[in-house]
Structure 1
Amino acid sequence: MFIDGFILGGIGLVMPALTSDLSLSATWQGLIGASALIGIFFGGPLGGYFADKIGRKPMFIVDLSIFLVGSAAQFFVADGMQLFFIRLLMGMAIGADYAIGWPLLVEFSPARLRGKLMAFQEVAWYVGYMGAYALGYVMSTAIHVDWRIILGMSTVPSLIVFLLRLGTPESPRWLISKGRTEEAMAIAKEFMEEEDVRDLQHEKPQRPSFRKLFSPQYFKSTFFVCMYWVTNVTPYFAIGTFAPIVLENLGMEDGLTGALVLNGVVVAGSVAAMFLIEKVGRRKLSIPPMWIAAVALVAIGLFSHVSPAIILVSFMVFSFFNAISTALTGVYPGEVFPTEIRGAGVGFATAFSRVGAAAGTFILPLSVQGLGIGTTMLIAAAICVLGAVISQYLAPETKGLSLSATSAPLAKVN
Structure 2
Amino acid sequence: MIAVLTGGMLLDGYILGIVGPVSGEMAADLGVSAFWEGLIAAGALFGILIGSPLGGWAADKWGRKPLFMLDMGLFVVSSVMQLFVGFMQFFIDSPMQLFVVRLLMGVAIGAEYSVGWPLMSEFAPARLRGRLMGLTIIAWYAGFMIAFVVGHVLTEWTDLGWRAILGTSTLIAAALFIARLGMPESPRWLWNQGRRSEARAVAYRYLESSTDMADLEHEDTCKGSFGMLFSPRYWRATLFVSMFWFCAVTPYFAIATFADSVLKQYGLGGGLAGGVGLSAVALAGVVVTVLLIDKVGRRVLTVQPQWLATVLLAIIGLWADAPPVVVLALFLAFSFVNAGYNVLTSIYPGEVFPTEIRGVGTGFAAAVSRVGAGLGTFLLPWSMTNLGASASMLIAAGIAALGAALSQWLAPETKGKSLSETAAGYSH
TM-score normalised by length of structure 1: 0.98
Q: Which amino acid aligns with 1:301?
A: G
Residue identity in the other structure for 2:14? F
**Match for 1:84 among 99, 113, 119?**
99
Name 2:331's counterpart in structure 1: 315
Rounded Cα–Cα distance in structure 2 between residues aligned with 1:172 and 1:142: 48
Counterpart residue number, 2:279: 263
Please state how far the C-alpha of 1:310 moved relative to its aligned partner. 1.3
Partners of 1:278 and 1:298 lie apart in 2 by 31
Residue 399 (str. 1) matches residue 415 (str. 2): yes
| Structure 1 partner of 2:121 | 106
Distance 1:174 1:254, change over 3 A: closer
Query: 1:211 & 1:397 partners in 2: Cα distance?
Result: 25
Describe how 1:270-309 pairs up with structure 2 within 5 A.
270-309=286-325
Which blocks of at least 5 consecutive residues in structure 2 are unaligned?
A: 1-8, 87-93
Aligned with residue 173 of structure 1, among 163, 168, 188: 188
Partner of 1:15: 23
| Contact 1:250 1:304 survives alignment (8 Å) | no
Task: Report whether the alignment pairs 1:160 with 2:168.
Answer: no
Q: Secondary structure at the match of 1:401?
A: coil
Residue 6 of structure 2 corresponds to none
Q: In the alignment, is residue 377 of structure 1 matched against residue 385 of structure 2?
A: no
Q: 1:387 aligns with which of 386, 390, 403?
A: 403
Segments of 4+ in structure 1 off by > 6 A?
none
Instruction: Give identity over the alignment, percent.
Output: 53
**1:271-291 CA deviation, whole Å, 9 max, x = no partner?**
111101011100111111111
Offset of residue 321 of structure 1:
0.2
Question: C-alpha displacement at 1:204, in angstroms?
Answer: 2.6
Q: How many angstroms apart in 2 are the aligned matches of 1:298 and 1:285?
A: 21
1-side partners of 2:301 and 2:160: how far apart?
Answer: 40
Q: Tell me the equivalent position of 2:164.
A: 149
What is the alpha-carbon distance in structure 2 between the residues aligned to residue 362 and residue 390 of structure 1? 25
> In the alignment, does 2:80 pair up with 1:72?
yes
CA displacement, residues 123-166 of structure 1 (integer Å, 9 cap, x when unaligned): 00000000000111111122353111211111111111111111
> Under a length normalisation based on structure 2, what TM-score does the superposition of the two structures give?
0.94
**Alignment equivalent of 2:373, drawn from 350, 357, 366:** 357
Shift of 1:409: 4.6
Is this contact kept in 1: 2:297–2:414, CA < 8 A? yes
Question: Cα distance, 1:411 vs. partner?
Answer: 4.4
In the alignment, is the contact (CA less than 8 A) between 1:248 and 1:255 conserved in 2?
A: no
Question: Does the 8 Å CA contact 2:259/2:270 hold for their aligned counterparts?
Answer: no
Kindly indicate whether the alpha-carbon contact (under 8 Å) linking 1:217 and 1:409 is maintained by their aligned counterparts in 2.
no
User: Offset of 1:24 from its aligned partner?
Assistant: 1.2
What is the correspondence of 1:176-187 to structure 2 with a 5 Å cutoff? 176-187=191-202
The alpha carbon displacement at 1:67 in A equals 1.0
CA drift at 1:226: 0.3
Residue 140 (structure 2) pairs with residue 132 (structure 1): no
User: Are residue 223 (structure 1) and residue 239 (structure 2) matched?
Assistant: yes
Residue 404 of structure 1 deviates from its aligned partner by 0.5
Structure-2 separation of matches of 1:306 and 1:338:
48
Give yes or no for contact 1:304–1:310 (8 Å, CA) kept in 2: no
In the alignment, the residues of structure 1 paired with residue 217 and residue 158 of structure 2 have an alpha-carbon distance, to the nearest angstrom, of 58
Distance in 2, matches of 1:378 and 1:248, equals 18
Give the Cα–Cα distance (whole angstroms) in 1 for the partners of residues 360 and 403 of structure 2: 22
Amino acid at match of 2:163: R
Q: Per-residue displacement from partner, 1:368-399 (whole Å, max 9, x unpaired)? A: 11100110001001111111111011000000
Q: Could you tell me whether the CA contact under 8 Å between 1:304 and 1:311 is conserved in 2? A: no
